[in-house]
Structure 1
């Protein structure tokens, strides 16, 4: 049993309030039928961090019978209630508080959280992009170092760690470069993220070596260039296989974008990466 492959489902950007209910029902069926070893949700459970959205998100997660870790996305911190944003930003997660930024321990594998969402950023507004603070990185590295020798490490975060957009050097995730170097130096197997709404499986070259970056698509109506999807990740020995599973049975290679875009907006600029399937909506659905 210790040598069997591990199966992890990687979900992201469900955006309750604008969720795709048929996609969620399909995920439920997949979990019930296949019984994966664990589930990683890399942020943006809600659309506007409203109470009714969190109620629906927490109820859905509580109905899943498997180990779960949940990262906090930029959409999950209140914007309208500034007092709560600054002094009690995770309050609305209270029903699943024990799952938020929880470390998952599986046979020969650990899934360790990395916080990339902040309450405010003096460098820019709005506060939707990533920032890995010194404290967040130190906590993640300490958790990695505490693992038994030989444990493979997956990191779960909301934002991809790309720090600068290549064609114009625009700032994306603050301290992303330093963080990628630190994770590569610890021989992390991969970092799982969301935020982009299109899946990807890329390798970043750092001064400390390569770092694999795996992004999940969305299970909401806010699609970008691919239909709603989630990642199936199978770990077998040194091999990690990623399949971008989707309701429309689009081939995984046609779901993957070839670069990390600036944000989760529909790709309108010719410079923005678009998956081969190329189903870019004309407009975003309205949020009620």
Structure 2
């Protein structure tokens, strides 16, 4: 890694169809000003996986700075219809991208996204053995010194009844691949954690442009700067006159 930080913009839970118009109209400019090397959207780009919602999502994503990495969320699968059984990801693939486990590279960065929403799960997620092996192969094979980034909709650290099926094998793969940064969404509440010493930084983004806010936390996205020795996470919040930085969390970079 060079002396310059690797900057990542992390958005999640757009819920186009239940969106805040001011947030939608202004967020692309705010993200662009940050100059990210990669923009990541960790699922729930739509409210009910309708064609018009995916069209709105595509329009917004096309305004964000690339390269762009997106993954599915539980709201990106049709709720109750024959489509959920027979063609659960057809609209997502049509509008967002054909690869459900996409990977991206940028200078100093290798990123992998995982599709953590199987059609037979109602809300909570799953990571398969094949996907865990993909983490090990793609991110474990990244060049030495490159930032290794994993993105999925469901936070892997959640325990109890809402936990991710396959959580243990995913965490094993994260350790084996020496992942630096794990990005997720789903909760609508921003969070930053380092669950074990020297381990990766887990960042959950809030709901970026929707009205589905929780705990009186408004629309937000996370700006992540990865330096040689530390990771800085700035939470950007929508206020009356635009976007402003709220909480800033600084933690050691894994392996530093």
Q: Using structure 1 for the length normalisation, give the TM-score.
A: 0.77
Q: Secondary structure at the match of 2:127?
A: coil
Q: Secondary structure at the match of 1:52?
A: helix
The residue that corresponds to 1:286 in the other structure is none
Cα–Cα, structure 1 residues 100 and 25, in superposed 2: closer, same or farther, change >3 Å?
farther
For 1:33 and 1:54, locate their aligned partners in 2 and report how far apart those are by CA, in whole Å: 25
Query: Aligned pair 1:251/2:251, yes or no?
Result: no
Query: What CA deviation, in whole Å up to 9, does each residue of 1:43-88 have, x standing for no partner?
Result: 0000111111111111221233421010100100112333x32333
For 1:25 and 1:37, locate their aligned partners in 2 and report how far apart those are by CA, in whole Å: 22
Q: Secondary structure at the match of 2:136?
A: helix
Residue 120 of structure 1 and its aligned partner are, at CA, apart by: 0.7
For 1:57 and 1:243, locate their aligned partners in 2 and report how far apart those are by CA, in whole Å: 24
The residue that corresponds to 2:224 in the other structure is 233
- Matched residue count: 242
For 1:119 and 1:217, locate their aligned partners in 2 and report how far apart those are by CA, in whole Å: 24
Residue in structure 1 matching 2:203, options 214, 223, 246? 214
Residue 164 of structure 1 and its aligned partner are, at CA, apart by: 2.2
Query: Aligned pair 1:224/2:243, yes or no?
Result: no
Give the aligned CA root-mean-square deviation in angstroms: 2.3
Cα–Cα, structure 1 residues 102 and 182, in superposed 2: closer, same or farther, change >3 Å?
closer
Q: What residue ranges of structure 2 are gaps of 5+ in the alignment?
A: 250-256
Larger radius of gyration between Structure 1 and Structure 2: 1
Query: Aligned pair 1:47/2:47, yes or no?
Result: yes
The residue that corresponds to 2:11 in the other structure is 11
**Which shows bigger deviation, 177-186 or 15-24?**
177-186
The residue that corresponds to 1:138 in the other structure is 133
For 2:44 and 2:201, locate their aligned partners in 1 and report how far apart those are by CA, in whole Å: 22
Q: Secondary structure at the match of 2:84?
A: helix
The residue that corresponds to 1:109 in the other structure is 109
Cα–Cα, structure 1 residues 50 and 237, in superposed 2: closer, same or farther, change >3 Å?
same
Aligned pairs (5 A) from 1:1-288:
2-82=2-82, 84-93=83-92, 94-97=94-97, 101-121=101-121, 127-162=122-157, 164-165=159-160, 170-205=161-196, 210-219=199-208, 220-225=210-215, 226-248=217-239, 249=244, 251-252=246-247
Q: Report if aligned partners of 1:160, 1:215 keep a CA contact under 8 Å in 2.
A: yes
Q: What residue ranges of structure 1 are gaps of 5+ in the alignment?
A: 122-126, 255-288
Q: Using structure 2 for the length normalisation, give the TM-score.
A: 0.86
